[in-house]
Amino acid sequence: MWKIVPDKFNSMRGVSSVLNICAFPSGNHPDKSPIRKDMICVRVWLANGDTRWFGTECAKIGSDLRMHMIVNPRDEVLRAWKDSDDF
């Protein structure tokens, strides 16, 4: 199930906008990544200084120039993200 990474996230400090998104290939994650090394790691930097980490089997930039990634259909939080029609 392809979903679009949102442009805002909720946190303990309120809603925060996304500043940057970066995908790291499997086996090439930053040292502090909590994602398993055999998955693609998607890191999201927020305006409030927080960072979000997501693991996926595939992530791509869509024609809308936003990050699209495959999510587990059983994940209720990620399943609520906007559907991607690109892939």
Where do the structural domains in the chain lie, given as residue ranges? 2-79
- Higher per-residue confidence, 86 vs 49: 49
Instruction: Centre a 10 Å sphere on the Cβ of residue 59 and count the other Cβ atoms it contains.
Output: 22
Q: What is the pLDDT of residue 74?
A: 87
Residues with Cβ within 8 Å of 31's Cβ and at least 6 positions away in sequence, in order, are none
pLDDT band, very low/low/confident/very high, at 87 (cuts 50, 70, 90): low
* Tens-place pLDDT, residues 10-45: 888 899 999 999 999 999 999 889 999 999 999 999
For residue 26, the 8-state DSSP code is T
Cα–Cα dist 72/77, whole Å: 10
Cα–Cα dist 80/52, whole Å: 16
